[in-house]
Amino acid sequence: MNKILSTDWSAMTSTDWTGLIILLVIAGLMATAYFLILKPANRDKFEQHRDFVNHEDDMELDREVKHEHAK
């Protein structure tokens, strides 16, 4: 099993190293975002943005109803 999971670090090209670094940076950023968002102390901060996509649509519909454009 150790032979299967071993890596020949000296045979890695610059493209391999670049891909490895990008992979580690993205994985770190995703883990950080995951823990920040799911941390219970931050729940209220993110809860206010829960439906921000739908909120603007609702405001536009309300405006149309008030001006009688939506019939």
DSSP-assigned letter for residue 48? T
Q: Whole-angstrom Cα distance, residue 37 to residue 70?
A: 38
Per the CB < 8 A criterion, the answer to whether 61 and 67 are in contact is no
| Per-residue pLDDT, 48 | 73
Tokens 């391999």 found at: 16
| Per-residue pLDDT, 11 | 93
Ranges of residues in the chain whose predicted pLDDT is under 50: 70-71
| Per-residue pLDDT, 28 | 97
| Per-residue pLDDT, 59 | 57
Cβ neighbours for 70, distance < 8 A, ≥ 6 positions apart: 61, 64
Cβ neighbours around 69 below 10 Å, total: 9
Q: Whole-angstrom Cα distance, residue 69 to residue 59?
A: 14
